[in-house]
Amino acid sequence: MGVEQKLANMGAVTTTLETVVNWSRTRAMWPLLFGLACCAIEMMAAEGAHYDMSRFGMELMRPSPRQSDLMIVAGRVSRKMAPVLRRLYDQMPEPKWVIAMGDCASCGGVFNNYAVVAGVDEIVPVDIYIAGCPPRPEALIHGIMTLYDKVNHEKIKDRA
Amino acid sequence: MQPEFEPTIQALKKEFNAQISEFRGDVSAIIPAENIVSAAKMLRDEFDFSLLSTMTAVDHWPEEKPRFDMLYQFTSVSKVLSLSVLVQVPGINPSLPTITGIFKNAIWREREVWDMFGIKFEGHPDLRRILMPADWEGHPLRKDYPLGYEEPQFTFNFEEIDLRKPYAKE
């Protein structure tokens, strides 16, 4: 059972470079430790033992943007916070992805006023939007699985 | 009114020509703007109101006479009393003398009132915005400040707004 059957006696497998690269990108996608509001509580719950995101190689939340691959915007972004968020995004090394978690990050949610940005996609390019106020940990994990699916279908030449 | 208030009220009336009103046991005094510094000093030193618990303003726009009410809430921790002091501020070029010399925490409170209502405090050591970004224009809690920022996106106008929404490209 498992990989040794594929090996036969040759000690080699054939696959495409894209498959290997995308596989390695999804299996250790470290998110940036960055919570803005109540969605961050659900993000912490998803990271904790009960929902256990480390099953997907995401047990590490990196407090430094330079070590992280994924930005989970968990919460509403105020106008004053927006430049900070953009700066953190710019400090992340390529390749990088963004998840807008919850209604506020996706479109402003219940807020429509001078203080809150109406959707974080005005500041950073967003890959996945997760609906909910706040989304449950299952919804966040589903969003991350959807992102994995997206990454697995990426072409290397599209990123360059 | 609680009997402990009496000496304070009498002094405010005598020294600063205050108008006193009471609503369900909450006492407030309207005093002229030029007296606020000496009134705050008197409340702190003579009547033991040692804490400035809050400062905020009320905008009565479009009423212009006077447009703003500046509200100071003084608390006496030892006597367990709380007193509102109201100062009326005109709408054109609103400004007040600062009380940062008497209550240090007024430095941040006055910055907040300046940020949100645009009431200037003469003599404040560092009057700049505290909540909004430094390059912000206007004062958001004024009644004539535009209410919404963006038109809400519904099914019927989704595409129209989608075309002009400033998405981040990279």
pTM for the predicted model, two decimal places: 0.80
Of A107, A116, A125, the CB nearest to B169: A125
User: Across the interface, which of B140, B145, B148 has its CB nearest the CB of A112?
Assistant: B148
Report in angstroms the alpha-carbon separations of A44 from A53, A99, B131. Answer: 10, 15, 28
| B134-170: pLDDT as tens digits | 888 889 999 988 876 677 778 888 888 888 888 887 7
Residue B150 in tokens = 């963006």
Q: Where are the domains of chain B?
A: 3-164
The interface predicted TM-score (ipTM) is 0.73
Partners of B170 on chain A (C-beta within 8 Å) are 125
CB B78 within 8 A of CB B59: no
Query: What gap in Å lies between CA A87 and CA B15, rounded to an integer?
Result: 55
- Average pLDDT over chain A reads 87
For residue B133, say if its preceding peptide bond is cis, omega within 30 degrees of 0.
Answer: no
**B3-164 CATH pick, 3.30.460.80, 3.40.50.300, 3.30.830.10, 3.40.50.2300:** 3.30.460.80
Q: Does B168 contact A115 at a Cβ distance shorter than 8 Å?
A: no
pLDDT, residue A3, reads 65
| Separation of alpha carbons B40 and A142, rounded Å | 58
Instruction: Say which amino acid occupies A74.
Output: A
B64 or A22, higher pLDDT: A22
| Element of type H or E holding B45 | helix B36-45
Answer whether A80 touches B (CB < 8 Å): yes
Are A125 and B170 within 8 A, CB to CB? yes
CA distance B113 to chain A (A): 16
* B121 within 8 A of B98, measured Cβ to Cβ: yes
Taking one residue from A and the other from B, the number of pairs with CB-CB distance under 8 angstroms is: 39
Å between B1 CA and nearest CA of chain A: 40
**Which positions in chain A touch B150 (Cβ < 8 Å)?**
108, 112, 118
pLDDT score of A10 = 67
- The answer to whether residue A123 neighbours chain B at the CB level (below 8 Å) is yes
Percent helix, strand and coil across chain A, each rounded to 5?
A: 45, 10, 45
Phi and psi for A48 in degrees, rounded to 5? -75, -175
Chain A residues with beta carbon closer than 8 angstroms to that of B166: 122
Residue A6: the pLDDT is 64
Q: Which fold has domain A30-149?
A: Rossmann fold (3.40.50)
Please report how many Cα atoms fall inside a 13 Å half-sphere around the Cα of residue A152, on the Cβ side.
9
The reply to whether residue A113 touches residue B147, judged by beta carbons under 8 angstroms, is yes
Q: Look over chain B and give the mean of its residue pLDDT values, rounded to a whole number.
A: 90
Contact B58, B68 (CB under 8 A): yes
The pLDDT score that the predictor gives to residue A9 is 66
Residue B152 and residue A112: Cβ atoms within 8 Å? Answer: yes
Q: Which residues between 7 and 66 in chain A have a beta carbon less than 8 angstroms from any beta carbon of chain B? A: none
Spatial CB neighbours of A16, under 8 Å, sequence gap ≥ 6:
none
Positive or negative, the CA dihedral A147, A103, B164, A83 is negative
Contact predicate A118/B150, CB 8 Å: yes
Give the whole-number percent of chain B exceeding pLDDT 90: 62
Contact A73, A104 (CB under 8 A): no
Distance between B52 CA and the closest CA of chain A, angstroms: 27
Shortest alpha-carbon distance between residue A7 and chain B (Å): 42
Over residues B54-72, mean pLDDT: 90
Q: For residue B136, count other CB atoms closer than 10 A to its CB.
A: 14
pLDDT: is B71 or A54 the higher one? B71
Q: Which residue of A has its CA nearest to B150?
A: A112
Instruction: Give the residue extent of every domain in chain A.
Output: 30-149
Query: Which residue from B minimizes the CA distance to A94?
Result: B170
Q: Return the structure tokens found at A37.
A: 């509001």
Q: Are A62 and A32 in contact (CB under 8 A)?
A: yes
pLDDT tens track for A114-131: 888 888 988 999 999 999
The string of DSSP codes covering A26-89 is HHT-PBB--B-STHHHHHHHHHSTTT-GGGGT--PPBSSGGG-SEEEEES--BTTTHHHHHHHH
Nearest to B126 by CA among B154, B139, B107: B107
| Cβ neighbours of A95 in B, within 8 Å | none
Q: B148: which chain A residues are within 8 Å (Cβ-Cβ)?
A: 112-113
Mutate to test the interface with B, among A78, A112, A116, A127 (most CBs of B within 10 A): A112
Are B150 and A121 an interchain contact pair (Cβ–Cβ within 8 Å)? no
pLDDT: is A59 or B16 the higher one? B16
